[in-house]
Amino acid sequence: MPKYGMVIDLQKCVGCGACAIACKTENNTQDRDKGQTFNWADFVFKTEGKFPDVKFTAMPTLCNHCSDAACVAACPVTPKAMHKHENGMTIHNMERCIGCRQCQKACPYSSEDVGKDNAPYSVISFNDFEDEVHAFYKDGKELIPGCTSSGADVSKKAGDTPPHRTMYKHSDYANVREKGKVEKCMFCEHRVINGEQPYCVASCPAKARIFGDLSDPNSDASMALKKHKAVQLKNSKGKLLKPGEKGTQPNVYYIRSFKAASK
Amino acid sequence: MLQEKVIDKALKNCIGTDRSRCLRMRFNRNTCSLCMQQCSSGVIGIGEDVTINMDNCSECMLCVSACPSGCFEIRGLNFYSIIARLRKIGASVQSPVIGCSKTASPSSHLRTFCFGYLSEELLIALSVYIQNSVQLDLTGCAGCNGFIDGILESRLENIEAMTGIRISEKIRLVKDRAELDFQDISYDRRSFFRAIRDMTLMQASGLFGDEVDSQGMQSYSAKKMPFKREVLNGTIRILPPERRRAVLYNYYYKADVSEDCNNCFACIGICPTGALKTIEAEGGRELSFNSSLCTGCSLCSSICSRGLIIIEKGFSGDNPFGFQHTKKEHFLMSVA
């Protein structure tokens, strides 16, 4: 059984955001609202220093599919809604999720409210109990009355909500989530089991994302890790694990850290 | 074809379980074991699922009445149709006799499953809905589930002590055959044929009736009331005010939410019955509580990391229906 992970080559990544956009269309995630990002693929952008001596870094973030996943330990239901698959992925079962958000509280890479916590990203997002999912595409209000269409009109014309909906099937999760449940990156398991790459990986124009079996020493991901010194994220503020620090044993690695400096 | 269907139906387990309702399935730190404590033959297992070993089950139905959140359901039981039939019989007979299907007594007007499923809630409802009185035929219990008569007796005593409803006058437990007062219904020719037709239809509908999905599994996030509470909610609407207040005080819960609640709403997610909900308030959404939907399982208090919500018996007032603000102090302070 493979143990999937991801290696992100920061020297290849230019922070263009193609992965984030690709993910949003593939997984039909909704717009950021009320402290929930719904960005399964996101970024930590950092600008350091003082003009003219400034440095800029872009670090793509996603669920780390930790080997010692805090979200799984925190999930209170039986069998767990947030659970590990044998292939190393941390998968969320929507049917069993009760929306208690214990996973979000426990995950070091997540925040219950990115606005209040001033966190650049959150791996786990929560769909409100009351608010409609994809409210924008269900709202009949026109931006400019008598001129533009409403979100609901667009959905109706396109024949689905959201209009760009990608249809896929998976035994645990749905392609559009329900009210009152959490959601997060699933490493596109619905694609991986069909022999495809996660969509963020497939869409990266610079091939900065390497997805593969970390237990196979000959996989591209393992080779990249052997060749370069790798670091892992520690929390949702963009801090890194120190050498020797295990954290929750994240399976997303960053190699060749890179800073755009004005020199 | 028909034969297969009949055999299949007969072999099917008569108690359905829905693990998504079980408190321990919803919250891994919960230790509720009311069903296992009540189970007379030790056949209930709670692991990755809630299971009943039907081969050794005595079908006493005590698990059904014990579970606070309605994990167990008797397939083929329609409580309201029993009441409707009792009322029909009650029109011509002073005190109809209900027997159980396990110990076939020849003198009963209708038969149902073992009486263990008659929780205090259902007993109250039964006493309120029937015209005069009803006799529960317990004459066969001694040779079967011998503990049922004692359990029913203490349930009736409990109800009487707590609510003042003089229930033993309405529901008579008959253990001695000599005490059974069975009046046969006399039929004229027309009503005889009508009765045969009704009976045949009922039997047929039992065989072909729209079967609930045999797995009966619900999404964990679905909010569902246990049947006994649903029945009681209907019953209290027609109780006289004084009795109603007593029932509310003894069977309904109040929620005490601290001002320090930071509105994480984990409690809303874990509640199996939907008694908690967000409500618009000054300064954003906050927690609201509907007592008619609360079964007192207290999962909300146990998931609250700081124990800021407390559920207690003793609902005071007349109206448990509808969602109410929980942070009363907060409201008074904001007014002052």
Per-position DSSP letters for A178-234, written without gaps between them: PTT-EE---TTHHHHTTTPPPHHHHH-TT--EEEEETTSTTSHHHHHHHHS-EE-B-
Q: Quick check: is B57 in a domain?
A: yes
Residues B95 and B173 occupy one common structural domain? yes
Number of domains in chain B: 3
Q: Quick check: is B242 in a domain?
A: no
| DSSP 8-class letter at A120 | S
Nearest CA among B313, B38, A198, A223 for reference residue B52: B38
Residues B62 and B87 occupy one common structural domain? no
Instruction: State the smallest CA–CA distance between residue A238 and chain B in angstroms.
Output: 24
Residue after which a domain boundary falls, among B29, B55, B74? B74
Of residues B189 and B244, more confidence is placed in B244
What is the structure's pLDDT at B214? Answer: 44
C-beta atoms surrounding B105 within 10 Å: 17
What is the structure's pLDDT at B1? Answer: 61
Architecture of the domain delimited by A4-261: 2-Layer Sandwich (3.30)
Per-residue pLDDT for B187 more than 80?
no
Residues of chain A neighbouring B267 (CB-CB closer than 8 A):
100
Residue A9 carries which side chain, given as an amino acid letter?
Answer: D
Residues of chain A neighbouring B266 (CB-CB closer than 8 A):
100-102
Q: Residue B217 — very low, low, confident or very high, per pLDDT cuts 50/70/90?
A: low
Residue B138 carries which side chain, given as an amino acid letter?
Answer: L
- Tell me the C-alpha distance between A111 and B264, whole Å: 12
Instruction: State the smallest CA–CA distance between residue A175 and chain B in angstroms.
Output: 17
Q: Residue B206 — very low, low, confident or very high, per pLDDT cuts 50/70/90?
A: low
Least confident of B4-18, B42-56, B123-137: B4-18
Q: Quick check: is B124 in a domain?
A: yes
Beta bridge pairs of residue A84:
A90
Least confident of A48-57, A104-113, B166-175, B289-298: A48-57
Which residues form the domain of B193?
Answer: 79-208
Per-residue pLDDT for B114 more than 70?
yes
Residues B191 and B271 occupy one common structural domain? no
> Is B163:B247 a contact under the CB 8 Å cutoff?
yes
> Where do runs of H (alpha helix) occur along chain B?
2-11, 23-26, 34-38, 62-66, 79-90, 120-129, 148-163, 167-170, 189-208, 227-236, 241-251, 266-270, 299-303, 328-335
Cα distance between the two ends of chain A: 47
Q: What angle do CA A24, A27, A31 make, to 5 degrees?
A: 45
Q: What number of residues does chain B have?
A: 336
> Where do runs of H (alpha helix) occur along chain A?
18-27, 70-74, 102-106, 114-117, 151-158, 189-192, 199-203, 220-227
Q: Quick check: is B228 in a domain?
A: no
Q: Quick check: is B234 in a domain?
A: no
From its phi and psi, is residue B284 left (phi > 0), alpha (psi between -120 and 50) or beta?
left
Q: Between B220, B268, B303, which is nearest A97 by CB?
A: B220
- Tell me the C-alpha distance between B330 and B130, whole Å: 46
Residues B256 and B192 occupy one common structural domain? no
Instruction: State the smallest CA–CA distance between residue A104 and chain B in angstroms.
Output: 11
Assigned token pair, B273: 């019955």
Q: Residue B207 — very low, low, confident or very high, per pLDDT cuts 50/70/90?
A: low
Q: Determine what percent of chain B is predicted with pLDDT higher than 70.
A: 88
Per-residue pLDDT for B49 more than 50?
yes
What is the structure's pLDDT at B104? Answer: 60
Q: Quick check: is B222 in a domain?
A: no
Q: Quick check: is B236 in a domain?
A: no
The three-state secondary structure class of B195 is helix
Residues B42 and B91 occupy one common structural domain? no
Residue of B nearest to A111 (CA): B264
What is the structure's pLDDT at B335? Answer: 44
Phi, psi of B48 (to 5 degrees): -80, -15
Residue of B nearest to A178 (CA): B221
Residue after which a domain boundary falls, among B27, B52, B74? B74
Residue matched to tokens 């007979």 = B93
Across the range B58-76, mean pLDDT stands at 92
Residue of B nearest to A95 (CA): B219
What is the structure's pLDDT at B331? Answer: 47
Residues B156 and B201 occupy one common structural domain? yes
Residues B160 and B176 occupy one common structural domain? yes
Residue after which a domain boundary falls, among B187, B208, B229? B208
Q: Which of A75, A98, A110 to mutate to test the interface with B (most CBs of B within 10 A)?
A: A98
Q: Do B220 and A105 touch (CB under 8 A)?
A: no
ipTM of the prediction: 0.87
Average pLDDT, rounded, for chain B? 86
Assigned token pair, B106: 């020849």
Q: Quick check: is B227 in a domain?
A: no
- Tell me the C-alpha distance between B328 and B284, whole Å: 15
Per-residue pLDDT for B116 more than 70?
yes
Listed as ranges, residues in chain A with pLDDT below 70 are: 260-263
